[in-house]
Amino acid sequence: MSSPRLRVQFETLFEHYKGQDSDVQLEEITEILFCTRRNARIVLNKMEEEGWLEWHPAPGRGKLSQLNFKRSRADVSENLAKRYLEEGKISQALKVLDHDSSKLAQVVEKYLGLVHQEGQQVVRLPYYRPLSNLDPAAPMRRSELHIVQQIFSGLTRIDEHEQLQPDLAHTWEMITPTHWRFYIRPSVRFHNGDLLTAAHIADCLSELKVKRLFAHIESAEPVSSLIVDVRLSRDDYKLPLLLSESCAKITLPKENRADNFDLFPIGTGPYKVTQNDSKRLILQAFDGYFGFRPLLDRVEVWVIDEAHSSMVFPSLSKPVRPEIAEFSDEVELDPGCTLLLLNRKDGLAKSNDWANYFSQRLNTLNLFQQLPQDKIVELGVLPAHGLKPGWYHHTKQGYVSPPSYRSVTIAYHGQHPMFPTLVKCIETLLKQDGLSVNLVTYDLTVENTDEVDIWLKPMGISTNRDDALAGWLLNYSDIAALSKDTDFAHWAELIEQWQATDSRAFPAKELGKSLVEKLQLIPMFHCWLGVNKDQCGSLQNAKCNALGWFDFSQVWVKPELGQVSDENADG
């Protein structure tokens, strides 16, 4: 890539000659660029290699050479910005555009979004960090949950209307509430060509027993080449629904996996991973998919450096975050919230006095008032008074002082565009009360939870359904590690009672109310999700899901009529 210095030298020449082709002497160039004749030749040759100008030297001193400009100053800056963008260096891209964010927005819009390459329809999306952990069995963040749903299939799935649908199992039956039978689609293959068997599925289901949500699985056995039986230790009328969870996706047997399975997972879903590194994740439509082959050929997620990550959505024609007033009615709120999880097991909040202090001092309105006004629009947050938008869980109000003067340890995702700002707000409030604060950052999960007093977390539930709280609470909320045993047993019992009854409604509000009233967590903010219909251009059906993305496998490109005519004429 050309250096910023070379661009500055080009701009100097361009401005001196006002962009007009000119007859010049090399001595003029040396004076303009303040360099030697030899360096002037090197610089001109490099600019010619970049395609910025043409340099036709005349032999001999004093003779006029020809300098022809092929690009304008703006063209060069924009192209250099694009090349920095390819490397995820948005800071450098902004610099070459004279720190003009509106120019950067134009460059990003041109470079990302919908493009056509070699007859394929490709969507490029910006994101603020690499997506490097795509094993559905491991703890995952919100965006990884979405990507995993594009790569893997489960026995069942939740569709775009949030209804339960068949997936690898084309149908199923409850023989008894403790005995379920799943009928498997024939001739399904993994992305590497391996044939999916009932034995593979049974092995994956058996491994689920280590997770609380599926601890009641006694056995999973293939009873024929296309039938799997699951036996349970207690009644469960909701097993097919629970098997739509991301952790229940069917994966390649461990003995057939490469060492880099987290980066390059192999599933049976509509997209396969062809590239995954610190710069980009590329998903290619899987031609051998057992369902409808995606109409969108390729999805590329481009990593934008963290310093400017809050400028972008994982969106299409308007990747730069709009002003809050421009959000359309189609932009929805996260179905969960960002919350503070208190360590009621062995942290300061083990004491009711400390838990009560934290819940009052760090309530959503106090934190919202601490947010810098210029950050509120950028972060896209609203105060949360309950786990889900529209819920209100009441706790005692009124100022209380800390029980003693101690150091409070707070854990948060080190790689998140919003959390550093939120942590500073929390730190400010606690320091006002004379407390010191120790911050712990982590990549995926906190290893030593007993050393943490407060854990700043997103819920990251994948649907708007109330029963999505079951998988969240039992599988990946980390509440079991930080709660009192009697409290967690009560919450788990509420879910088990729901599972044991055919028509019982999920006790979502009862759970949410209890979690707040027991001082286990403090709801902080609801966040705007990323994609609205106005951002989708010619891409059809790009409805924002509960994870802030759209289902790649369900979208298609609506060609313009002129484009259709041109293609027919070419044929």
| Bridge partners, residue 123, by sequence | 114, 299
Which string of DSSP letters, residue by residue, matches 87-114? Answer: TT-HHHHHHHTTT-HHHHHHHHHHHSEE
CA atoms within 13 A on the CB side of 429: 24
pLDDT per residue, tens digit, the chain (571 aa), is 467 788 788 878 887 887 788 888 888 899 999 899 899 989 999 989 888 888 888 876 667 888 888 877 777 777 777 777 766 566 677 777 777 666 666 666 666 677 777 778 888 887 878 898 999 998 888 889 999 999 999 999 999 899 999 999 999 999 999 999 999 999 999 999 999 999 999 999 999 999 999 999 999 999 999 999 999 999 999 999 999 999 999 999 989 999 999 999 999 999 999 999 988 899 999 999 999 999 999 999 887 654 444 455 555 445 445 444 444 445 578 899 999 999 999 999 999 999 999 999 999 999 999 998 777 777 778 999 999 999 998 766 666 899 999 999 999 998 887 899 999 999 999 999 999 999 999 888 888 999 999 999 999 888 999 999 999 999 999 999 999 999 999 999 999 999 999 999 999 999 999 999 999 999 999 987 764 444 455 677 777 777 778 888 888 877 766 554 444 444 4
Strands 436-442 and 407-413: parallel
Instruction: Kindly list the structural domains of the chain, giving each domain's residue range(s) and its CATH number in brackets, ordered by start.
Output: 4-71 (1.10.10.10), 75-127 (no CATH), 153-250 (3.90.76.10), 332-528 (3.10.105.10)
Distance of alpha carbon 448 from the chain centroid: 25
HEC-encoded secondary structure of 342-372: ECCCCCHHHCHHHHHHHHHHCCHHHHHHHCC
pLDDT in tens, 97-115: 777 666 666 666 666 677 7
Length of the chain: 571
Beta strands in 136-266 (DSSP E): 156-158, 164-166, 169-176, 179-184, 217-224, 227-232
pTM above 0.85, yes or no: no
